[in-house]
Structure 1
Amino acid sequence: MTASLTLGPVLFNWPVDRWRDFYARIADEAPVDTVVVGEIVCFKRAPFFAEAMGEVVERLTAAGKTVWLASPILVGSERERSAMRDLVAADAGIVEANDMGALALLAGRPHAVGPTINVYNEATLAWMAERGAVAVSLPAELPAATVAALAKAGRELGVAVEVQAWGRAPLAISARCYHARAHGLHKDGCQFVCGNDPDGMPVTTMDGQPFLTVNGTQTMSHGCLCLTAELAELVAMGVTRFRLSPQAMDMVRVAEAFRAVLDGRRDGAEVAAELGGLIDAPLVNGFYHDTAGALRVA
């Protein structure tokens, strides 16, 4: 089976015109097979994109992309719960669940599972398959041995196993907004300051060393996950889907580079060196090699 590329949802607070134009270019130029769309980090941002959502989905679908709609990572208020129920009830195709509440609502119908839900072992994967999961995107922190075991189980269960191969790794989500607090604001009056950081806000240690990235209520890695050199090994394990998480850069070029490696037309290590020059962050792959996630293992 030919490995496919998934473009995950935009995690950052981009202006709606930029968001719309980004997906228009993805539709026209990017060699990705599936595009996951939806505001999953902060419910307060969602209304800005609601009006453009239909246009974006239509444009992507017309271009031959498979479109999945994503549920939020953290659902707290009744308004948020109602919005999630509406998303599931709309029955507009595959929904990617990003929290356990969405999984409960989707039970018994085909759905996908996003990387923010912890799938660490075969028993969890089997439980999800029984409830209707057709694809599971694994958490970014899993080492190669665990990925291999889950890929084997996925083949036996008929569930496509996906690995994030590009982009800052999602690490945590909070009901509080550190992005707002860092600017002396409360979450309810945040003034959407996260929009000032289209690739997230860098966080440094007390001695000034880059440490993490904050994106509204979300904590992410400082380094950009890049597994181009590991793609052949992952395909051999039975991983069939690879996720690219959007960053504020030329994502069409990223998708083209990954497609070239998967097709055997380019060398993965060479591509990593090229992509490293396009983003203002170190490339990392430590989690996959069972060491600190912030490291790059040759």
Structure 2
Amino acid sequence: MELTVGPNQFFWPAENWMSFYGDLAHASVDRIVLGELVCSKRLPFYQDRIPDAITRLVEAGKQVALTSLALVTLKRERKLTADLADLGVTVEINDLTALAHLPQNTAFDVGPLINVYNEGTLAWLASRGARRICLPPELPIASVRVLAQAAASLGVAVEVWGHGRLPLAISGRCYHARLHGRSKDNCQFACENDPDGLDVLTGDGQPFTAMNGVQTLSDSYACTDHQVELLQSAGVSALRLSPQSQGFPRLCALYRQRLDGQLGRGDLEHALRADDPGKRLSDGFLTGESGAEWSGSACAPIEAAR
């Protein structure tokens, strides 16, 4: 099973952004998705560095793709989407409107923000040129298995969200700007102050979600430590790791060891908790009753879950 690094969901200084992808050139991952997923206003700060990052990653033997925006609303955003194919690497669409801007008969990938919930949608995307699909993170393991089998018959690789705060929604409004009493057009890039998202609490102080500019994320970090064997048996081709500002190369190494059998079920969880004891983990979408649940050592045996 491969490891894919998804697009960075957050706004980091350009130097930090470039350093992050420089480190990934040496990380134990197979494929990396670059570019801006959340807010087009962030892109000018690091856009000129993308070609150099692509070159460095390709020279290091990595597969590289470029993401589309999750929500295309402006004329300049349509042009940015149309320009993606000009860089000579695979495009990952996260908004179906991006299909209109790809040259005919061009192969492409599909990100987790496209609602691929059934075999019909998967087959339609394959007929349009999709060669790799990262399934939406809210699917249970039974649905993942059905879709992975359908994809295999069509020559399409299937990824599953492996680790990171889950993308829940994209809005036309900027939560960070509103929090600071600013308009979206004059946000002053407040989201830069929260490189992994800003925790949102309920009225009585309980963790609820996280905000990231116009994006809503899960409070917890999805972690598939206890589902690796289930996903392998289901025919999943790759796990997707979502970038975080601290300790990401180590996270990649731990997942590589887990997939290669060097770590047993639960060992990855223990390592993550040792690094950050306060971080909440979840895997409920795959095997629980709600997405925020964490199975931990109580994860159902593989045979029983089939």
What interval of TM-score do these two structures reach, taking the shorter chain for normalisation?
Answer: over 0.9
Q: Are residues 1:19 and 2:8 paired?
A: no
Q: Are residues 1:131 and 2:124 paired?
A: no
Q: CA deviation at 1:101?
A: 0.5
Residue number among 8, 27, 32 corresponding to 2:29 in the alignment:
32
SS in 1 for 2:200: strand
Identity %: 47
| One-letter amino acid of the structure 2 residue matched with residue 295 of structure 1 | E
In structure 2, the partner of 1:186 is: 183
Q: CA deviation at 1:105?
A: 2.8
Listed one character per residue, the Cα deviations across residues 172-198 of structure 1 (whole Å, up to 9, x for unaligned) are: 001110111011111100010000000
Q: Are residues 1:243 and 2:213 paired?
A: no
Correspondences of 1:150-189 after superposition (within 5 Å): 150-189=147-186
119-128 vs 275-284, which deviates more? 275-284
Residue number among 34, 47, 52 corresponding to 1:55 in the alignment:
52
Q: CA deviation at 1:269?
A: 1.1
1:222–1:281 Cα contact (<8 Å) kept: no
Distance in 2, matches of 1:39 and 1:276, equals 30
Residue number among 185, 202, 207 corresponding to 2:199 in the alignment:
202
In structure 2, the partner of 1:104 is: 100
In structure 1, the partner of 2:112 is: 115
SS in 2 for 1:45: helix
SS in 2 for 1:287: helix
Listed one character per residue, the Cα deviations across residues 159-181 of structure 1 (whole Å, up to 9, x for unaligned) are: 00000110000000011101110
Distance in 1, matches of 2:239 and 2:68, equals 20
Cα distance 1:213–1:186, how it changes in 2: closer, same or farther (>3 A)?
same
1:144–1:290 Cα contact (<8 Å) kept: no
Distance in 2, matches of 1:149 and 1:243, equals 19
| One-letter amino acid of the structure 1 residue matched with residue 90 of structure 2 | I
Distance in 2, matches of 1:104 and 1:289, equals 36
Q: Are residues 1:94 and 2:108 paired?
A: no
2:288–2:295 Cα contact (<8 Å) kept: no
Q: What runs of 5+ residues in structure 1 fail to find an aligned partner?
A: none
Distance in 1, matches of 2:216 and 2:188, equals 19
In structure 2, the partner of 1:286 is: 284
In structure 2, the partner of 1:66 is: 63
Distance in 2, matches of 1:276 and 1:81, equals 42
Correspondences of 1:142-157 after superposition (within 5 Å): 142-157=139-154
Distance in 2, matches of 1:259 and 1:76, equals 38
166-175 vs 258-267, which deviates more? 258-267
**TM-score normalized with structure 1 length:** 0.96
Listed one character per residue, the Cα deviations across residues 69-112 of structure 1 (whole Å, up to 9, x for unaligned) are: 11100111101111111113x15121000101113333531100
SS in 1 for 2:284: coil
2:93–2:110 Cα contact (<8 Å) kept: yes
Distance in 2, matches of 1:231 and 1:102, equals 32
| One-letter amino acid of the structure 1 residue matched with residue 23 of structure 2 | R
2:134–2:161 Cα contact (<8 Å) kept: yes
Q: Are residues 1:45 and 2:42 paired?
A: yes
| One-letter amino acid of the structure 2 residue matched with residue 251 of structure 1 | F
| One-letter amino acid of the structure 1 residue matched with residue 13 of structure 2 | P
1:249–1:278 Cα contact (<8 Å) kept: no
Q: What runs of 5+ residues in structure 2 fail to find an aligned partner?
A: 297-306
| One-letter amino acid of the structure 2 residue matched with residue 102 of structure 1 | A
Distance in 1, matches of 2:288 and 2:107, equals 32
Distance in 1, matches of 2:231 and 2:113, equals 20
| One-letter amino acid of the structure 1 residue matched with residue 188 of structure 2 | Q
Q: CA deviation at 1:276?
A: 2.9
SS in 1 for 2:208: strand
Q: Are residues 1:5 and 2:3 paired?
A: yes
SS in 2 for 1:255: helix
1:6–1:242 Cα contact (<8 Å) kept: yes
Task: Give me the CA root mean square deviation.
Answer: 1.1
Distance in 2, matches of 1:155 and 1:121, equals 14
Residue number among 267, 270, 285 corresponding to 1:270 in the alignment:
267
